[in-house]
Chain A
Amino acid sequence: MQHESIIREPLLLGKKTYHQITEDVARPVEGKANKYWWLMLALAVTAWSWGIGCMAYTVGRGIGTWGLNRTIDWGWDITNFVWWIGIGHAGTLISAVLCLFRQRWRLTINRSAEAMTIFAVMCAAIFPVLHMGRPWLAYFVFPLPNQFGSLWVNFNSPLLWDVFAISTYFSVSVVFWYLGLIPDFAMIRDRAKVAGRKISYYCYRVLSFGWSGRAKDWQRFEEVSLVLAGICTPLVFSVHSIVSSDFATGVVRGWHSTVYPPYFVAGAIFSGMAMVLTLVIVGRKVLGLEEYITIQHIDTMNKTMLTMGSVVGVAYFAEFFMAWYSGDPNESFIYLSWNNAIGPYGWAFWSLIICNNLLPQILWSKRMRRNLYVTFFMSIVINIGMWFERFDIIVTDLYRDYMPSDWTYYSPTWVEVGIFVGTIGMFFTFFLIFARVFPFIAQAELKTTLKATGDLFHNPPRKLKANGTAADGSTVQPQTAH
């Protein structure tokens, strides 16, 4: 048996046993949804439907229905694309990077974070496809033999790197997520069999791929998980580095910056963690998983968010300083510059600074980090701040073009707003269904750490004195989970 250090707080509260974990994880899947879930689903589906209407309108009438103009030819569409991709970063970060660092606190949140990743990437993909104007020709981005003879895609272009990076990230994330789900589906299948729920048994039998939990299967499962974590780690960093190259390899001042790849990755983790917090703070309450996703988890995620927010803050400062220090008149109009702060997009500049730099400073306080209301509020604020970061990079770097005669302003139309609202609806529709149909916590993996991190197994050794007796004088009996 392997114990965590006794100075660490337990990651599982209450007297948990293996069976209790099974019960707690299976309860939301086997029980009936309450009225709040149906209300949320109705709202999400309504928003999604509205978005589908706006998408159909865009496809039917063309992207002239958007507010883009000759100077500002990327607007809400690419802002939303980068925002969603950024959110999609936390999932694989938590499951892959934290797996390599042996961070056990990831185990209760990795499943929902991975689901979030997959749904966020699906939302992200909608925007560049719609921006093509003729989305039925979207397959042109793949290197397929076509009717034009030797018309191949340009492998030197970061836009094509994006196609490969995002499609690889999406499909590998799905594989990583699904492989982890197989043993948990098997658990629900066997419970359905015992309880005589035939339809449920049939569905989960198909989903669990006939998983039996044989020793050899577990051995392969663990090896596959570890190797996937190893190859997903550089993948996570590559994806947002490549997204940043869409900008960094361009000649637009403000975009043409070598700091972009690490800066974008830090920003993506920052916003991804914020979205994970938004989802799990609600999820733990609604699904009754407070003893699994504890205040300790929330605190740790807040610390990660604070660290990444600080990295992003330093990058902002460097950009702002270099724009001023270069003495280049063009640089003095980039998104992080004084001219932007006092210009017509000053409101977007200050929204970014307040949401991403000033307000997150309260997370230095442990009391604030462990306060659920403050954390939930901050997670929303950071999500908004990170949206503004992308909006500022795109719109406020474009609106002061090299020719002052091209200087202009951009406002989105109701169609662009509708598509964004629609993707939020789509995201929450998928997430709500996930929370009801799929095991919200990776219970099989979690059970491996029960003895090391569970409250039940921690307390007796903590009370031990040097002579092997408990603090109250009684002899401590070793406890096991049964």
Chain B
Amino acid sequence: MSHTFVHALYDDDDRLKDGATKVRSLGHTIKDVFSPFPVHGIDKIMGIKRTRISICCFIYGCTGFSLAFWMISYMMVYDWPIDIGGKPNFTPYHNLPSWIPILFESTVLCSAHGMAITFLLRSWLLPGVSPKNPDPRTTDDHFLMVMPAYTDADIKAITGIAKETGAVEIKTVHA
């Protein structure tokens, strides 16, 4: 387990991507990148897998739909069927067209909130949580790449790549 990290600070997203590509192509790993906005393509360069949060969203949506269908069926058909203006209301099949709006809204409600809660919990974003970005400039106009270094040769090689690709600040941090 490495306890030494090279922090390379860039002031441009394209230079950051150049640096990250080079670091990866030479066999080093990137622990994390902190940026003020989403840098498109950096996740693929870093080797981060695609997020599965949209699959969660689909599951939450199906749950919302099923719960609403069960609730409406129970209340309108099983527990207390009401004859309103002679409209057919004694089976879910006959009632279904007028249930569609609420089934849709419940699907959206559960999928949106479920996905947002999953995102906040998986990324551990909650009120009072301490921010993890090592440099406050990474929420403004700088991009920080954190790379583990296992040997002195690694430190030298990574620092060299960072310099070559236009990093404006390079630090070696012992965790």
Contact = CB atoms under 8 A, between A and B. Distances in A.
Interface of A: 1, 17-19, 22, 143, 150-156, 158, 160-161, 164-165, 168, 171-172, 175-176, 179, 182-183, 186-187, 189-191, 193-194, 205-224, 227-228, 231-232, 234-235, 238, 242, 245, 444-445, 447-448, 480-482
B76 A152 contact: yes
Contacts of A482: 11-12, 141
A155 B104 contact: no
Contacts of A222: 38
A19 B112 contact: no
Contact of B129 (A150, A175, A210): A210
Q: Is the interface of A mostly helix, strand, loop or mixed?
A: helix
A155 B125 contact: no
Given A160-B102, A191-B136, A215-B42, 8 more contacts: A152-B76, A156-B84, A187-B36, A190-B138, A190-B139, A214-B32, A214-B123, A221-B38
Given A143-B75, A214-B33, A481-B12, A231 B101 contact: no
A18 B119 contact: no
A481 B39 CA distance: 14
Given A143-B75, A447-B36, A242 B101 contact: yes
A448 B37 contact: yes
Contact of B131 (A161, A212, A232): A212
Contacts of B34: 212-215
Interface in B26-85: 32-40, 42-43, 46, 48, 50-51, 53-54, 57, 61, 71-72, 75-76, 79-80, 82, 84
A445 B37 contact: yes
A176 B111 CA distance: 12
B116 A224 contact: yes
A479 B89 CA distance: 68
Contacts of B140: 18-19, 22, 187, 190-191
B122 A215 contact: no
A1 B14 CA distance: 8
Contacts of B137: 190
Interface residues of B, number: 68
Contacts, number: 210
B126 interface: yes
A210 B33 contact: no
Interface string B92-130: 000100110110111011011101100110111111111
Given A155-B72, A221-B38, A481-B12, A213 B139 contact: yes
Contacts of B91: none
Given A156-B87, A164-B106, A223-B54, A193 B35 contact: no
Contacts of B132: 210, 212, 214
Nearest to A219: B43
Interface of B: 11-12, 14-15, 32-40, 42-43, 46, 48, 50-51, 53-54, 57, 61, 71-72, 75-76, 79-80, 82, 84, 87, 89, 95, 98-99, 101-102, 104-106, 108-109, 111-113, 115-116, 119-120, 122-133, 136-141
A165 B105 contact: yes
Contacts of B138: 190, 212-213
A228 B111 CA distance: 9
Nearest to B106: A164
B76 A155 contact: yes
A245 B101 CA distance: 11
28 contacts: A18-B36, A152-B75, A155-B98, A156-B87, A164-B105, A168-B105, A171-B112, A176-B112, A179-B116, A186-B131, A205-B130, A209-B127, A213-B133, A213-B138, A215-B35, A219-B51, A220-B53, A220-B119, A222-B38, A223-B53, A224-B116, A227-B57, A232-B112, A235-B105, A238-B105, A444-B36, A447-B36, A480-B14
Contact of A210 (B101, B104, B130): B130
A218 B71 CA distance: 37
A102 to B, nearest CB: 13
Given A213-B138, A215-B32, A228-B112, A444 B119 contact: no
A232 B109 CA distance: 10
Given A210-B131, A211-B131, A215-B33, A238 B14 contact: no
A168 B108 contact: yes
B116 A190 contact: no
A218 B102 contact: no
B48 A217 contact: no
Contacts of B11: 482
A68 B34 CA distance: 60
A437 B24 CA distance: 42
A183 B37 contact: yes
Contacts of B112: 171-172, 175-176, 228, 231-232
